[in-house]
């Protein structure tokens, strides 16, 4: 064998091989992520924990349930909790290690210091597969609050952006 071929084989053997098998209908996915923010004096701090469970309808489409729990610690006040539960649908693009996705979610928000109401909006994100079944994810959501369907049309422009990062795992049905 020539020297170039031997060198190529040696380098290839040293690189981690990541073979990401495409999801199939019925595969399930679980994620766990978090976010946080503080003002410049750390007088008002919010920590968020987010998890989701989803199932693939085919190799690109997924639906599921997403849960978020927030803890707010404001100076001079006790810690306050709120949360949201929503159903989501995401469409994944491409194949391989990096898969962007777009989607939509709708659900409810509830807690100690929030008006219990409906919420919904679009989302966009990316998954980077570090192993066949394990990935790192980042997502941005635009969420707006509404009390009824007609209220949703009027309130869309009054939403806010939410960001999260996390890890996930996919379980195959076969």
Instruction: Give residue-wise pLDDT tens across range 60-116.
Output: 999 999 999 999 888 888 899 999 999 999 999 998 899 999 999 999 999 987 889
Average pLDDT of the segment spanning 125-153: 89
Residue 154 pLDDT: 73
pLDDT band at 13 (very low <50, low <70, confident <90, very high): very low
The answer to whether the beta carbons of residues 133 and 127 sit under 8 Å apart is no
pLDDT at 9 over 60: no
pLDDT at 39 over 90: no
Residue among 129, 54, 136, 133 nearest 94 (CA): 129
Give the angle subtended at the CA of 159 by the CAs of 66 and 141, to the nearest 5°.
35
Residue 113 pLDDT: 79
**Strand ranges in the chain using DSSP code E only, listed in sequence order:** 28-38, 44-56, 61-74, 80-92, 98-111, 117-129, 134-146, 160-171
Instruction: Please state, rounded to an integer, the average pLDDT across all residues of the chain.
Output: 87
Average pLDDT of the segment spanning 56-60: 96
Residue 19 pLDDT: 55
31 burial type by CB count under 10 A (0-12 exposed, 13-18 middle, 19+ buried): buried
**pTM (two decimals):** 0.80
């Amino acid at each position: 064998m020539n020297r170039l071929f031997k060198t190529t084989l040696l380098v290839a053997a040293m690189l981690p091989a990541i073979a990401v098998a495409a999801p199939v209908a019925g595969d399930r996915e679980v994620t766990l992520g978090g976010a946080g923010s503080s003002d410049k004096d750390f007088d008002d701090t919010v920590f968020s924990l987010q998890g989701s469970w989803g199932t693939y309808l085919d190799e690109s489409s997924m639906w599921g349930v997403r849960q978020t729990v927030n803890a707010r610690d404001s100076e001079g006040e006790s810690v306050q909790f709120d949360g949201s539960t929503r159903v989501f649908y995401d469409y994944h693009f491409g194949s391989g290690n990096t898969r962007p996705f777009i989607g939509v979610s709708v659900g409810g928000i509830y807690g100690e210091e929030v008006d219990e109401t409906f919420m919904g909006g679009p989302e966009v994100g990316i998954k980077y597969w570090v192993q066949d079944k394990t990935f790192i994810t980042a997502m941005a959501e635009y969420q707006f609050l509404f009390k009824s369907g007609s209220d949703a049309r009027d309130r869309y422009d009054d939403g806010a952006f939410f960001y999260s990062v996390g890890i996930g795992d996919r379980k195959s049905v076969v």
